[in-house]
Chain A
Amino acid sequence: MLDSIIFYFFAGIAVISAALMITRRNAIHSAVFLITTLLATAGIFLQLRAEFLFISQIILYVGGIMVLFIFVIMLVRLDVPLPQIRSGLQKWIALFVALAVGVEAGVVLFLARKAPGQGLLIPNPAPAEKLPPNTEELAKGLFGAYLLPFEIASVLLLVAMVGAVVMAKKRTDAP
């Protein structure tokens, strides 16, 4: 019971602030609501006893990425309205994408109900106290079964980083 209270609390916050994030005009306000969404999601992780995931979410997304987001927003001054390319089709494309995503989510949920133990619902979860420390479990997963994808992702990130540096660097030898 307590678990569901906590879940609905965090889920509610996450959904509401996600909506606010999209509707705010001020970029910084949007960022603040995005942070709230991420924190609420982290709260759900915690409620699921995925402590390591919870703290990774906070350290990486909130503490790292969002700070940089805000940094960039402050530097570039997005709140000064830029001449944006608006197309009449935008509304319809958005509607279509939203519908597509909605249908997809519905299908996934529906299928998950059909195949117990495979999808989102776990019928008989082990009690939280009996779970092995999930840092270790996560490490075993990452460095065992999923080593190759993990490494590929790392290399991809490295490439992105080097690319960003190359693009951002001012040419000092320019006349």
Chain B
Amino acid sequence: MNSALHSILVFVQTWWVELLCAVLIVLVVPLIAGYIVLVERKVMADMQARLGPMRVGPHGLLQPIADALKLLIKEDLIPDNADQFIFWLAPVLSMTAALTSMGAVAFGPWFQVARDINIGLLFVVGVSALGPFGIVLGGWASNNHYSIIGALRSTAQLISYETTAGFALVSGFLLAGTLNVRAIVETQRSDHAWYIFLAPVGFFTYLIASIAETNRAPFDLPEAESELVAGYMTEYSGFRWSLYFLAEYANMIVVASVGTTLFLGGWLRPFPNIHWLGWLDAGPTLLLALVGAYCVYRAGKQPARVQSLFMWAVALACFVVAAIFGLAAPFGHPPLQFMYRGLYGAFWFLLKVSAYIYLFMWLRFTLPRFRFDQLMRLGWHILIPLALINVVDVSIALALTSEFGLNRWLAMFFTTLATLGAAMLLLRWNDKYSAAASATLLADSSIVEETNAG
């Protein structure tokens, strides 16, 4: 018994940084997710010519906390005919999958839970593949037609698009030659290129698949409120519902992080090897200073004293952090230097992830929703073949460079062209097919009519 305790102690002593990171993720991600919701509402409001939440806190800044409180104190409802156990289990499963998969994501060079794990990104993809269980089981346990249809749709969608995402990632893995997260980022530095430039097709297929995987518009069919009320979440309310909700946003962070790591250079600044762009290193400092200056500018215009005080406080905080960043860090001694590099990497990483998520939001407010058969057709008839062809083409390019010493960029350029050509063919074929499909649909409906009449 003693030895068991001892070994646990040793474990904690060895891994305390990682454990701290894990606790931090569990504690902070829900908060971040809440604020992503706020940002989303603000972005949506901006695109739709309105203000968004304004009441709770200055510019609605405390809205997520108010929402969370409201959800926590809501009545905990379980429908009578629901399967109690699974109804309880499903949202937990979704949330667990989302948070666990975050373990292998590296937010900057030193913030990562599972650091030495050599399957790296594969871990993220694999564990987040557990998410569909939460959805499908939740939909089934609710004992409601809308929920079941939502759950079935969702499962079908997730499975098909995970395949696409997997193949798209393979093209990146091939270029990196490793699955380890840090190694992937470092190879992008040594290759002098983010992989979005070397494998653009891979990136775009991953982009689309990642939107579909997180059930975001235009692929938000499982929870299409105009058709299925709220899909698999119809019977959920209060805290359980918020678990699903958080899982969705946590998943957004995960897929955006994976995309960023593999295709957008992770925590590297743009053009990491070009020295005259070195001033970009001052990016975090500059940005913080700018935010601070803006707050000072706005502080005078606030209608209430509290609000202007708040603005001053934010400005002060920004300036202090900017000063630490800009002045102290480069001259600090090694541990400080280490932390500086970590924060600096995290800045670029989070900036890219934010841009990625912003793109999600932008698409959501611009595009109508797909129909289920169209979604499936897009997935199986276009994206999966395209991703497969892309994998083959990237391998060919790699073989050309390593075996025949062809210039890497040249090889990539031609194979990308080939992939795009294949994509055009696929699209044309699909158009023909979909025309035929809708024709059969109409023919079918006339049959249905006749049988109904007869």
Interface positions of A (Cβ within 8 A of B) = 1-2, 5, 26, 28-29, 32, 35, 51-52, 54-55, 58-59, 62-64, 66-68, 70-71, 74-75, 133-135
Q: Which of B176-203 contact A (CB under 8 A)?
A: 178-179
Could you list 11 examples of A-B contacts with CB < 8 Å? A28-B137, A28-B141, A32-B89, A55-B126, A58-B129, A62-B129, A62-B130, A63-B132, A70-B133, A71-B155, A135-B118
**Contact among B4, B83, B117 for A28, CB-based, below 8 A:** B83
How far, in whole Å, are A1 and B4 apart by their CA atoms in the complex? Answer: 6
Chain A nearest CB, measured from B10 CB (Å): 8
Q: Knowing A51-B117, A55-B119 touch, does A64 contact B159 (C-beta < 8 A)?
A: yes
- Measured between alpha carbons, how far is A26 from B123 in the docked complex, in Å? 31
Which residues from chain B contact A29 at a C-beta distance below 8 Å? Answer: 85-86
Q: B8 to chain A: which residues have CB within 8 Å? A: 2, 5
Q: How far is the CB of B121 from chain A (nearest CB, A)?
A: 10
Q: How far is the CA of A103 from the CA of B69 in the complex (A)?
A: 58
Segment 115-143 of B: residues with Cβ below 8 Å from A: 117-119, 122-123, 125-127, 129-130, 132-133, 136-137, 140-141
**Extra contacts besides A2-B10, A67-B159, A133-B118 (13): CB < 8 Å:** A1-B7, A2-B11, A5-B7, A28-B83, A32-B89, A51-B118, A55-B126, A59-B122, A67-B132, A67-B136, A70-B133, A70-B136, A75-B152
A25–B10 alpha-carbon span in the complex (Å): 44
A52:B119 contact, CB within 8 angstroms: yes
Q: Are A135 and B3 in contact (CB under 8 A)?
A: no
Known A51-B118, A67-B159, A134-B118: A59·B86 in contact at CB below 8 Å: no
Residues of B within 8 A of A2 (CB): 4, 7-8, 10-11
User: How distant is the Cα of A18 from the Cα of B352 in the complex, in angstroms?
Assistant: 44
Interface of A: prevailing SS: helix
Query: For the complex, what is the distance from the CA of A29 to the CA of B87, rounded to whole Å?
Result: 11
Is there an interface contact between B152 and A63, defined as CB atoms closer than 8 Å? no
Q: Contacts A58-B127, A63-B132 known; A71 to B86 CB distance under 8 Å?
A: no
User: Chain B at the A interface: mostly helix, strand, loop or mixed?
Assistant: helix
Chain B neighbourhood of A62, CB < 8 A: 129-130, 133
Which residues does chain B contribute within 8 Å of A55, judged by CB atoms? 119, 122-123, 126
Minimal beta-carbon separation of B390 from chain A (angstroms): 20
Q: Is B162 an interface residue (CB 8 A)?
A: yes
Number of interface residues of B (CB under 8 A): 37
Choose one: A5, A35, A74; the contact of B133 (CB below 8 Å): A35
The verdict on A59 contacting B133 (CB below 8 Å), with A28-B140, A29-B85, A51-B119 known, is: no
Q: Contact flags (1/0) for B1-43 with A, using CB distance below 8 Å?
A: 0011011101100000000000000000000000000000000
Measured CA separation A43–B155 after assembly (Å): 25
| Residue of A whose beta carbon sits closest to that of B179 | A135
B residues in contact (CB < 8 Å) with A: 3-4, 6-8, 10-11, 83, 85-86, 89, 117-119, 122-123, 125-127, 129-130, 132-133, 136-137, 140-141, 148, 151-152, 155-156, 158-159, 162, 178-179
Q: Which chain B residues lie closer than 8 Å to A133 at the CB level?
A: 118, 178-179
Pair A70/B137 contact, Cβ less than 8 Å:
yes
Docked pose: A90 CA to B133 CA in angstroms: 33
Nearest to A172 among chain B residues (CB) is B440
Q: Which residues of A contact B155 (CB under 8 A)?
A: 67, 70-71
Instruction: Note all chain A residues with C-beta closer than 8 A to B119.
Output: 51-52, 54-55, 135
Kindly name the residue among B11, B118, B148, B179 whose own CB sees the greatest number of chain A CB atoms within 10 A.
B118
Report the minimum CB–CB distance from A11 to chain B (whole Å): 16
Compute how far the CA of A26 lies from the CA of B84 in the bound complex, rounded to whole angstroms.
13
Quote the shortest CB–CB distance from B84 to chain A (angstroms).
11
Contacts of B130 in A (CB 8 A): 58, 62-63
**From B7, B119, B156, residue with most partner A Cβ within 10 Å:** B119
> Top 5 closest A-B pairs, CB basis?
A63-B129, A1-B7, A2-B7, A59-B126, A55-B126
List of B residues within 8 angstroms of A75 by Cβ: 152
Q: Which residues of chain A have C-beta atoms less than 8 A from B159's C-beta? A: 64, 67-68
A28 to B137, CA, bound (A): 8
A74 contacts B140, CB within 8 Å? yes
Kindly provide the distance from the CB of A126 to the nearest chain B CB, expressed in whole angstroms. Answer: 15
Q: Which residue of A lies closest to B117 (CB)?
A: A51
C-alpha gap A64/B158 in the complex (Å) = 10
Given contacts A28-B137, A51-B117, A55-B119, contact A63 B148 (CB under 8 A): no
User: Is the beta-carbon distance between B117 and A63 smaller than 8 angstroms?
Assistant: no
Nearest to A73 among chain B residues (CB) is B140
Chain B residues contacting A71 (CB-CB under 8 Å) are: 136, 152, 155-156
- From B3, B129, B141, B148, A1 is in contact (CB under 8 Å) with B3
Task: Give the distance to chain A from B435, nearest Cβ to Cβ, in Å.
Answer: 17
CA distance A35 to B83 in the complex (A): 18
Q: Tell me the smallest distance from the CB of B384 to a CB of chain A, in Å.
A: 14
With a cutoff of 8 Å between Cβ atoms, the chain A residues found around residue B117 in the complex are 51
| A129 and chain B: residue at smallest CB distance | B116
B72 to chain A, nearest CB (A): 27
The CA of A59 and the CA of B101, in the complex, are separated in Å by 12
Q: Which residues of B contact A135 (CB under 8 A)?
A: 118-119, 179
CB contacts (< 8 Å) of A134 on chain B: these are 118
Q: Which A residues are CB-close (under 8 A) to B137?
A: 28, 32, 70
Instruction: Specify which chain A residues have a CB less than 8 angstroms from the CB of B140 in the assembled complex.
Output: 28, 70, 74
CA of A26 to CA of B140, assembled, Å: 12
**A58 near B86: Cβ-Cβ < 8 Å:** no
Query: What's the Cα separation between A29 and B89 when bound, in Å?
Result: 11
Which partner residue on chain A sits nearest B141 by CB separation? A28
A63-B162 in contact given A29-B85, A74-B136, A74-B151 (Cβ < 8 Å): yes
In the complex, which residue of chain B has the Cβ closest to the Cβ of A57?
B126
Residues of B within 8 A of A63 (CB): 126, 129-130, 132, 162
